[in-house]
Amino acid sequence: MLGVFSSAVVSPPDELVAAGSRTPSPKITSTALVNRFIDGHPSSVSVQIGDHVQLAYSHHNESPFHPRSFAAKDEIFCLFEGVLDNLGSLRQQYGLAKSANEVMLVIEAYKALRDRAPYPPNHVVGHLNGKFAFVVFDKTTSTLFVASDQYGKVPLYWGITADGFVAFADDVEILKGAVGKSLATFPQGCYYNTVVGGLRCYENPKNKITAIPATDEEIWGATFKVEGSTVFAGTK
């Protein structure tokens, strides 16, 4: 799955911007990146949302343990990969039918977050048990909400394209050569929400997350460390 968002929607960590400025640092535009995804993934589906967002997904080379799905409802768009172990109880919690799958559950959970403000975002992702990564975009409010499970079992990567779009993808090969040295692993157990102002750890949302720039010889733009923890978020 792939999502690209302009600077009108999301402001990436300064450390990734700085890493992407290193040379040599080959990059391509967001449109070229989406076209690369479509060309390399048979039967892929892409969605253009206004001038600032493009989403794409495919079931090509999909893991049976981490299925991908896409849904849109009430101008809320969601890419989801993985499985939720507590999907049944979450359906009851959010009043959904037994046929509702993970991607619809995440949309409803996001709507609860948005409409019951100040409902804490960490409560939404903190209640999701399983292996997952998702990207949610709310066109009505121009809000981006991205999250990875606590142990990073479903990989997610991000970086910055030549035209300044922030790209999220589950396949690192898609971003290699497209986002230069800004390429980084999205930190496990964390979420990015444009309403709350960036990256947070959902176990300790008040703790600061520090992005540590990688060395010039490394491909990763930065690693992320949660304040008060000895573990680097996003490491495997």
Predicted confidence (pLDDT) per residue in 141-194, tens digit = 999 999 999 888 999 999 999 999 999 999 999 998 899 888 888 988 889 988
Question: Given CA atoms 196, 213, 82, 168 in this order, what sign does their dihedral have?
Answer: positive
Residue type, 62: E
Please identify which residue in the block is written with the tokens 């403000």: 117
**Whole-angstrom Cα distance, residue 221 to residue 212?**
9
Residue type, 80: F
**Whole-angstrom Cα distance, residue 29 to residue 146?**
21
The length of the chain is 236
Question: Are residues 102 and 91 in contact, defined by beta-carbon separation less than 8 angstroms?
Answer: no
**Whole-angstrom Cα distance, residue 88 to residue 172?**
32
pTM above 0.85, yes or no: yes
- The per-residue pLDDT string of the chain (236 residues; one tens digit each, 9 = 90 and over) reads 999 999 999 987 777 887 777 666 778 999 999 999 999 988 899 999 999 999 999 998 888 888 999 999 999 999 999 999 999 999 998 888 898 999 999 999 898 888 876 667 787 888 899 999 999 999 999 999 999 998 889 999 999 999 999 999 999 999 988 998 888 889 888 899 888 777 888 877 777 777 777 665 555 677 777 776 544 454 33
Q: In what order do the strands lie in the sheet with 76-84?
A: 68-73, 76-84, 130-138, 143-148, 190-193, 198-201
**Whole-angstrom Cα distance, residue 49 to residue 171?**
22
Closest Cα partner for 44 from 26, 31, 57?
57
